[in-house]
Structure 1
Amino acid sequence: MSDTRTELARLREALRILDEQAAYQTDVAQEAETRAVVAGTPLADRQLHEAAEDLRRLRRQRDEAREQISAVTAEQDQLLERLFDAKASP
Structure 2
Amino acid sequence: MTRHSLSLLLRNEPGALARIVVLFSSRGVDVESLSLAPAERGDLSRLDVVVELQPGRTIVQLIKQLGRVVEVKSVVDRTHDEAIELGA
Q: TM-score range by the shorter chain?
A: under 0.3
Structure 2-normalised TM-score?
0.27
Question: Which one has a larger percent helix, Structure 1 or Structure 2?
Answer: 1
Normalized per residue, the structure richer in strand is: 2
